[in-house]
Chain A
Amino acid sequence: MSTVNQSKFAAKGVNRRQFLATSAKAGCAMGLLGMGLTAVAKQSSQLDPLAIRPPGALSEADFLSACVRCGLCVEACPYDTLKLARWFDGAPTGTPYFTARKIPCEMCEDIPCVKACPSGSLDHELTDIEDSKMGIAVLIDEKNCLNFKGLRCDVCYRVCPLIDDAITLEMQHNERSGHHAMFLPTVNSDSCTGCGKCEHVCVLEEPAIKVLPTHIALGKTASHDTYINTEETTLEMLNKGLEL
């Protein structure tokens, strides 16, 4: 029996020593290659803060597990908003994103991009587009915003699909003139979907309001904090003052 096996090996020109040697070599080569590939993937998985994921996108880490980069969401988008990232772009190659300043999300009621996604990297649980969190608009440059200068530009507010909810105008006394009001565009991060219409229409050459990925735009209280940011507890702190 063993002689049969041996002759079989001999016929193929491989003995045990050679087999182990090639396996070890290939194993090392694959290990190195694996490290290289992972390094490339990790390096280029840093998403550009202005590259916004489609509605319903899972958190970035989960998104990169799930997305097969097929482009079905891109082809489903009726407004040409979504793009597939290219090599050397600000998003992992082949994954979908949009740039709000170029073409914002029109928030289709039937959310065709999510429906088209076969991998579930766009969460099919999202059925109401107003619940989507593509990012959060942030009025990032108060110095150049016309409303902060006391003018009534209001364009970001007017264009917001969730006007008076996601963006409100907060009235404040204008100290500069002494007898005018300022109407400050204020984003409510609970309602903002990150569609990017405000950033798209901002009249400045470089927009003063920008949509940023949620993990950049939002702060977070520590999980051990007993006063977890409820209105009540913070109000309690204010009223009781030093008694606490």
Chain B
Amino acid sequence: MSQTLKQKPTTHGFAKAAIKELGWWRAHKFLFLRRLSQVCVFALFAISPFIASWAGVWLLKGNLSASELFGVVPLSDPLATLQVLMTGHLPELSLILGAVIIVLLYAVLGGRVFCSWVCPVNMVTDLASWLRRKMNLPRTAEMPRNLRYYLLALVLILPVLTGMTVWEWLNPVPILYRAVLFGAGSGLWILAAIFLLDLFISERAWCGHLCPTGALFGLIGKVSPVKVSAVNAKDCDNCMDCFVVCPERQVLKPALKGKQPMITDSDCTQCGRCIDVCAQRVFQYQNRIALKAENNQ
């Protein structure tokens, strides 16, 4: 008790304790790795045409809606594919196969790993969230977290009613990709709108409450073995840094204060920021299946 009291003045402010304890690099490790991953996926799409014109091999062709890896492996957005199927159009096999590959990939890696490690919109909404913290903006009234599932249902019903993939007019994920890869910058107003929404109207509004793509990947991730776990929950000193930085803070409490340390809530994006900012090293990535095998032995 006396120790924590002594520490308090020197570690005041967000994540100061973690930076002091672990150093700046380790307190930002997963944030840095995530940005690297997001930028790399983007860059692979962007530089592929140049590599192709010079080495003759396309690394990644297309965009996040549908693409080709090495000119052979089809990859496609499960949400876009579902929308096409809902219109009643039977696409080429490669689109469906691409969606199956992506679903399997994220079912293994963790569903919303897409949101935090690949999706470019995450950079926009994280920036808004960071600015909110820096500007000390007050907490906003919270929208219901399950709005995204209603929106997902809407996105899948509209093609049935209209025969068009209506959501693709506004879906900010491919719009951001197309803006950069195909020079279609005029759609960026949607990204600006999301940024302002997150910054001034409702914190974490887009990725944390509304995005139907995130909702779908969350559902896919329910079966995933990779989870963040509060393995050292007993060391938690209630500094609240993880709550401040977590994009889905409702997932933390059951892990920290409940019976089971693993964050099984599929809303968790597995961004690893809670691991970064915790001076007490409470959190860790864990593999559910490996853990079970270990316990059985």
Contacts and interface: CB of A to CB of B under 8 A. Distances in A.
B151 A30 contact: yes
Given A65-B89, A118-B91, A71 B182 contact: yes
A51 interface: no
Interface in B208-255: none
A71 to B, nearest CB: 6
B159 interface: yes
Interface in B42-90: 49, 58, 61-63, 65-68, 74, 76-77, 80-81, 84, 87-90
Contact of B66 (A27, A70, A83, A92): A70
B91 A94 contact: no
Contacts of A86: 178, 183-187
B12 to A, nearest CB: 33
Interface residues of A, number: 44
Given A26-B144, A86-B185, A119 B92 contact: yes
Contacts of B168: 68-69, 93-94
Contacts of B61: 72, 75, 116
A126 to B, nearest CB: 13
B165 A68 contact: yes
Interface stretch (A35-43, A160-168, A172-180): A35-43
A50 interface: no
Nearest to B170: A37
Given A84-B178, A84-B182, A92 B95 contact: no
B169 to A, nearest CB: 5
B186 A89 contact: yes
Contact of A87 (B88, B161, B181, B184): B184
A68 B166 contact: no
A113 B165 CA distance: 21
Interface string A84-99: 1111110011100000
B154 interface: yes
B253 to A, nearest CB: 13
Contacts of B49: 75
Given A61-B163, A62-B89, A93-B169, 8 more contacts: A37-B170, A38-B166, A70-B65, A72-B67, A84-B182, A86-B185, A87-B187, A116-B68
Interface of A: 22, 26-27, 29-30, 33-34, 37-38, 40-42, 44-45, 61-62, 64-72, 74-75, 83-89, 92-94, 116-121, 124
6 contacts: A30-B154, A64-B165, A70-B62, A84-B178, A87-B189, A94-B178
